[in-house]
Structure 1
């Protein structure tokens, strides 16, 4: 998605994603960064400035970087249009990165109104947050439909849930299981890991409390639910998310698998927080902290079905300039979608944007193991799944109809398309979130 189209809010055209003039800016002067932009600081020009600043930082040229950031500071506005609001968070990330080079070289202050309180949400607030857009609900709907189809005829169901949404997916599935023509399952188990990526949304209650509430909800639907949290061996929170996975790798024996259960593995915005397997530093481990190692572990469980939902964007590259271009083009989707549906000073909108801003900071500010945001496109994930010995499951028309009903509850810009074995959530025709379902194949 090109920035030219964002400036026009186009619903039908797409510009080339790899513009050589944007990918190779020259960090020589402020005039070079502003060439062609004066009087027209729209999306394309903001992107050009961001890339020029990235090139300056990569060349350790703090003088040019400071000049460009000064211009961006005069463009950014926490209450402006989507491009201006997005610029606020890119500028914050660039300043944070530049501060490592020269902590005293950035004399200007940012608009403080955009800072997130990082306050954990109540369950009610989290439900409202998820309902703001179909960003999460889309994956819930598609994955739940695949799960319902996979467990037909099974009286016992075990869900191993790798998700950042605190089990918000499961009340709807429990409702659907309770209404099955063959009757609800006689046993439902949900297992979640205690290790959790340090990303929003955060919840103000413990995972065990979430489990108790789910069990009470399931009891009202006449479904006996067992909820288990897989504990790590790390003391407190002294280890990072990835360190916890390395220290206490996933162990099939800890899951208590049973032969008469339908085993479901659900991954919702999870794999992007695992390390890649070809990054050239600490990412060459093949345990459950790496993407390929995790998929090998999952394949070894021989699950009935695996559901995968994640953001459809390639934001995992060593090049800062490439990450900035991909990030600016992709995350504009959320800022534009929120502009369509909410007032400029809406607190819920501001909080949602602040959570996206945390993602931007991690993608731009950090390198190596500190950069935990490593999104890959649905196509790249599909390649990983096939290499790991999985085959794709096609979604039927009933699943697509359910998604269309869900999208009718949101702004008209949201849509859906099929790409190979995936269903993809779109905003004004641009891919945002993918969901796919997989079954293990026998590896000869």
Structure 2
């Protein structure tokens, strides 16, 4: 019997792809997977570390010194310290599936390093090899994930040539735009995260509205909005001991058709539940709204208890503040090169990164923010533009909501350093791809096609935004719950505790639906729900209200 291991990827030595010795050498190919979780990668990381070749201590020490010297002397230094492995010199045809996966991951990190350094030829060669091992239609999750990240890295290279990138990328984006709503519905059906977010949000709203007779709920979730959330809220309010309130829901969404459909569904369901109900539609995107007129646009009335729900949208307001991607004087990268004559594209990228570090309101810059900064409600100096996120939070605070429930991705994809964003995104989306793979395998039928649509049209677009875009174009600026807590508190908001009973409801939903591997974690202070896949938090739900205020019947008092 042939004992040769099964291979899922290989390419021939003479298949027309240029061979590159530095890709196959231990010092360039194999990088330690710092931060990569063994569960996420199916044990690949552990294989890499277990199969290291032993080194004499002096040799290892000399290698570490060489790596440190290289890292400190070159802006284009590699992401991780090179480490030799037993299969480093093995031809691709002879690799097992796990070993081939390790090579694919190494190529992704190597490609990211070359892209960050502006090394077009080396990055292009990495991409050629990656696409020999990866495909959007491949049967293995890692291959599909790698293909999506390779696409994002290629887009980042293209964006150095604005005319070419606009011609190639804008047309492809517009062609696929109509697929996104259906893909979002597939993601909602296949994964429990938004269902759990809706359930815990509704539970917090019902608790906050105890005893209220007139309730106004504002849905700012935009593309993440779903009428199912509010139908479930009808159920919850109908079961209240103090009776059903008069309920008004205002939804903000850029699609007139979506709002019309949402209105029809909710009005019909409210009649069936015999709930006094009114629906208001606001056709807009959250980031485009005039926050100075928020009370008027949302039709907030005195005498109503207000609740605000926003899922997976707040991070987009951070992009509105970042003008780092706009080029002064309209110069293209090639014109800049012609004027300044840098020695390489890497030098150009380093200059641009330094400029953007000074302009971008990202997570790394946020640590110096204080309550006296513009986000805390104080206006900036004359001539400065007020941050969008600060304007929004100040406007919400002025509405005096009893509760504001926020759901966001539990990840830091808003750092200024490209290497950090790439590493964080690769780990985060590996978990989501894994979730989708398990869900599709369990559901069968058309689930594989639906999974593919989600991977390409929803997650793929998010990955492209995180990896390929800079400045105002980078819309997906996810931050962790602790970072959002800093922003909220700086804006004059305080936490609202999320009850243990809400977490128990969410866990019961997982049990009833047979969602194995998922978990709802309640943080020690009772301030946050983490929605997890195999103990890895992927989404976070938090609740807020204006600090120092007590609410009663929609009125505000000290």
Query: What interval of TM-score do these two structures reach, taking the shorter chain for normalisation?
Result: 0.7 to 0.9
What is the distance in 1 between the residues matched to 2:268 and 2:448? 34
Specify the alignment match of 2:110 in structure 1.
52
Give the SS at the match of 1:230.
strand
What is the distance in 1 between the residues matched to 2:177 and 2:546? 43
8 Å contact kept, 1:193–1:229: yes
Specify the alignment match of 2:269 in structure 1.
217
What is the distance in 1 between the residues matched to 2:514 and 2:208? 29
Specify the alignment match of 2:252 in structure 1.
193
- Work out which of the residue numbers 113, 123, 137 in structure 1 matches 2:195: 137
Question: RMSD of the alignment, in Å?
Answer: 3.5
Pairs within 5 Å for 1:280-429: 280-281=358-359, 290-343=388-441, 346-354=448-456, 355-408=458-511, 409-419=513-523, 420=525, 421-429=527-535
8 Å contact kept, 2:184–2:454: no
What is the distance in 1 between the residues matched to 2:500 and 2:159? 52
Specify the alignment match of 1:271 in structure 2.
314
Match status 1:261 vs 2:268 = no
Give the SS at the match of 2:250.
strand
1:150 positional shift: 0.6
1:341 positional shift: 2.5
Match status 1:441 vs 2:552 = no
Give deviations 1:138-169, integer Å, cap 9, x for gaps. Answer: 11011110001011101111011110323332
8 Å contact kept, 2:408–2:539: yes
Specify the alignment match of 2:130 in structure 1.
72
1:442 positional shift: 2.7
What is the distance in 2 between the residues matched to 1:288 and 1:405? 44
What is the distance in 2 between the residues matched to 1:60 and 1:359? 23
Specify the alignment match of 2:55 in structure 1.
none
Q: Which runs of 5+ in 2 are unaligned?
A: 1-34, 50-66, 89-94, 165-171, 323-356, 362-373, 380-384, 550-557
Question: Against the structure 1 CA distance between its residues 340 and 413, is the aligned structure 2 distance closer, same or farther, given a 3 Å change threshold?
Answer: same
Give deviations 1:217-270, integer Å, cap 9, x for gaps. Answer: 1111111221112345xxxxxxx874x336x75522333323321100111111
8 Å contact kept, 1:47–1:325: no
Specify the alignment match of 2:237 in structure 1.
177
8 Å contact kept, 1:424–1:431: yes
8 Å contact kept, 1:133–1:410: no
Give the SS at the match of 1:267.
strand
- Work out which of the residue numbers 131, 135, 140 in structure 2 matches 1:81: 140
Question: Against the structure 1 CA distance between its residues 437 and 342, is the aligned structure 2 distance closer, same or farther, given a 3 Å change threshold?
Answer: same
Specify the alignment match of 1:8 in structure 2.
42
Q: TM-score, normalised by structure 2?
A: 0.65
Give deviations 1:276-317, integer Å, cap 9, x for gaps. Answer: 668744769988972232212111111011101111000012
8 Å contact kept, 2:492–2:547: yes
Q: Which moved more, 1:62-71 or 1:405-414?
A: 405-414
Pairs within 5 Å for 1:97-246: 97-101=156-160, 118-119=178-179, 121=181, 129-163=187-221, 164-168=223-227, 169-185=229-245, 187-195=246-254, 205-231=257-283, 242=287, 244-245=288-289
Give the SS at the match of 2:257.
coil
Question: Against the structure 1 CA distance between its residues 256 and 402, is the aligned structure 2 distance closer, same or farther, given a 3 Å change threshold?
Answer: same
Q: Flag the structure with larger Rg.
A: 2
1:205 positional shift: 3.2
Specify the alignment match of 1:236 in structure 2.
none
8 Å contact kept, 1:33–1:52: no
8 Å contact kept, 2:306–2:402: yes
The structure richer in helix per residue is 2
8 Å contact kept, 1:266–1:306: yes
1:209 positional shift: 2.8
8 Å contact kept, 2:252–2:286: no
Q: TM-score, normalised by structure 1?
A: 0.81
User: In the comparison of the two structures, how many residue pairs are matched?
Assistant: 405
What is the distance in 2 between the residues matched to 1:214 and 1:289? 35
What is the distance in 2 between the residues matched to 1:422 and 1:156? 27
Question: Against the structure 1 CA distance between its residues 227 and 170, is the aligned structure 2 distance closer, same or farther, given a 3 Å change threshold?
Answer: same
What is the distance in 1 between the residues matched to 2:241 and 2:100? 55
- Work out which of the residue numbers 91, 110, 133 in structure 1 matches 2:150: 91
1:410 positional shift: 4.2
